[in-house]
Amino acid sequence: MLTLFWLFFMSATFLIRIDVPDSRSIAHDSSLEVAGESALQYGLGLDAEISGENRVTELLSDSDYDGACTLLQDALMAGKEANCWLAKNSATSSPYGLVGTPSGDTVTVHQLVTDGDDLWTISLTLWNIGGGA
């Protein structure tokens, strides 16, 4: 009985095949990641127009969430597009600015920003458009 079980078990291991896909190239992901980080650094590097540490925190403190996200989305290099997500303190992230449907693989870049007593999480979900790499 034990021999039959062992024979059945060994034959099953030859029949069961698990396919493991090859890992994707990191070059595709890194171009999206760099584009997102560059857009975030651009927005955080702009001087505030009236008050605040920078232009992004100024817009967030004025509750102009669409304006903050549009500023970041406009800073993306050609061939890249992004959805912008904002979360204040421990709230759930919500999309603001122009919201699109990703075509293909996406990469999400996150940035924590403080504004007084508030902690903002800014997330950009990026993808390539127009055949850009």
Are 94 and 120 spatial neighbours (Cβ–Cβ below 8 Å)? no
Dihedral sign, Cα of residue 89, residue 74, residue 56, residue 28: positive
So what's the pLDDT on residue 70?
Answer: 95
pLDDT of residue 17: 60
Q: Are 53 and 115 in contact (CB under 8 A)?
A: yes
**CA distances from residue 89 to 25, 29, 97, 112 in whole angstroms, order as listed:** 35, 28, 20, 10
- pLDDT band for position 36 (cuts 50, 70, 90): very high
Q: What are the extents of the domains in the chain?
A: 27-128
State the chain's maximal CA–CA distance in angstroms: 84
